[in-house]
Amino acid sequence: MFDHRIAELLELDDSGLDAQIRELESQRRRLDAEMAATIAVAEHRTLNAVDGHRSMSAYLRATCNWSKAQAARFRSAAHLVNTHSVVGDAWIHGRIGEIQVSTLSKLHRNRRVNERLGEAIDQLVVHAETLPLADFEVVAARFATLADQDGAFDTRPDVEQRSATVTDVAGCLHVRANGGDPLEAAEFIAIVERFVEAEFRHDQQVRHDMEEAVANGDVVFPPLRSRAQRTHDALLAMARAGAAHEGMINPAEPLVSVLVDQQTMAWIIAHSGLGASTSLSGESIDPFTGLARPSEFLDDLLGDVDTLLDRRCETDTGIMLKPADVLRAVMSGHMRRMVLDGDRVPVDLGRSRRVFAGPARAAAKLLVPWCEHPGCDLPAALCQVDHSVEWQLLGSTDQANAGLRCGFHNREKSRSKRRTRRDRRGLMHTSRPDGTIILPVGCRPPTFPSDDDPDDAGTSCDAEETRVMEEAARNRLRLVASER
């Protein structure tokens, strides 16, 4: 039976196989949603008592042969969809999957934020339907931070109970550290990454130095160390550098960037008493900009849930920070800070520059945590800044036209003639050569500026515009060649 099914699948072409995977995922989402709904009704009826089970979790473990963790996940999902039917609707129609529901379930279980979940759940579901999973999890974490200003990320227990051990286990080094506050964690990780990068460059240099000997057949390349092995060696190098007072980190260099949007920064300034929240005439103003703002804005850090995607209160590596952490970083003066306004602080270098450098490069890498190609999770620090509209096609070297891609996907984009384009919310999307957008199963299609604003052409262009741009690009390249 199974071998026969494998044989049938082998006969499918690539598009057929892709369609099969998408269809099976849609069916799985529908069945998972129906299971959660059924568990909600069964728990309401105390069905577990029929066979003498003490709890619904025990019933599910006995009936479905599930683990405790799996039973807990589905019970949590059942409670969520029973309270917020909009989640169940999106789930059973295949627009979101079990992992997105699990993320929302964590918010529902958090007693400190679930009181405010009702007012934001519709928009959170929209984010779950339209964002890649990693981005949605960031939005959900931001909601938890803003909805529970005092406890969602309370680091006091972690600080008080911080611990570290360095021991010898059967002749091997064993290092373990726990606790500390988010800023200390971000700083330590940044330092380790510098040393890990140095170990990687050492491996590259060794192989480069051996190329001639390898070409002559005298030796073979040594195997590259794994990421885990380089991290171990980096920790040892850190200890040796500290002991020798030869630290690799220049104290003048910024180690951690703290990203804060204008609305959150204004709230921090107002509630810390560091800025005026009213003008001389008594009108409510934004403490950060001095512009008039509604009075209720300063009373609620969560604000408009539609803006969760643009809210920032975190490090550049995605570690969520409480407003108090940001205030402490601002007052200490040893952190690099980038305060984002409503337009995400565009840095425009015009079209005279061929590559992104300086502020434009730094801004592009701060605003995106990882490679923007669908499914790639390479950190931004290791990525290249890419032109959404290629420079050869008169694309500008500015923040609006900046994308972030790892070296492989940057080259692959040019080879495969893929296009990238930002939607109205500023999210980057990748299109295949035939114009179809690469989207997850069930994801809502994005809305681009030109779709609902005739005066805004966005980054799209027709055949005639493409011909004109290509001709202008060829003229520019000929001009550059003549100048050389």
Q: How far is CA 129 from CA 126, 298, 436, 440, in A?
A: 5, 30, 18, 9
Answer whether 190's CB lies under 8 Å from 229's CB: no
**pLDDT value at residue 477:** 52
Answer whether 425's CB lies under 8 Å from 408's CB: no
How far apart CA 373 and CA 438 sit, in angstroms, is 9
**pLDDT value at residue 32:** 96
Answer whether 256's CB lies under 8 Å from 183's CB: yes
pLDDT tens digit sequence for 56-92: 999 999 999 999 999 999 999 999 999 999 999 999 9
Q: List CB contacts of 285: < 8 A, sequence separation 6 or more.
A: 276, 277, 278, 279, 291, 292, 293
Q: Which two tokens stand for residue 192?
A: 């380790």
Q: List CB contacts of 330: < 8 A, sequence separation 6 or more.
A: 337
- Three-class DSSP category at 167: strand
**pLDDT value at residue 414:** 78
Q: Which two tokens stand for residue 214?
A: 């390898």
Q: Identity (one letter) of the amino acid at 268?
A: I
- Under DSSP, the state recorded for 222 is P
What tens-digit pLDDT sequence spans the chain (484 residues)? Answer: 888 989 999 999 999 999 999 999 999 999 999 999 999 999 999 998 888 888 999 999 999 999 999 999 999 999 999 999 999 999 999 999 999 999 999 999 988 888 889 888 999 999 999 988 988 998 898 888 888 765 544 556 666 778 888 887 877 888 888 887 777 888 888 888 889 888 888 888 888 887 777 777 766 777 778 888 989 998 988 888 887 765 555 554 455 677 777 777 777 777 777 766 676 666 777 666 666 666 555 566 666 666 777 777 777 777 777 777 777 777 765 555 555 554 444 434 344 444 444 555 565 566 677 888 888 888 877 788 777 766 555 555 555 667 788 888 888 887 888 888 888 777 888 888 888 888 888 888 888 876 445 444 444 444 454 455 455 555 555 555 555 5
Chain centroid, CA 435 distance in Å: 25
**pLDDT value at residue 94:** 94
**pLDDT value at residue 293:** 65
Q: Where are the domains of the chain?
A: 2-109, 168-243, 358-483
Q: How far is CA 2 from CA 8, 24, 100, 300, 339, in A?
A: 10, 16, 31, 57, 57
- What is the pTM for the complete model shown? 0.64
Output the CA torsion sign for 409, 413, 418, 423: positive
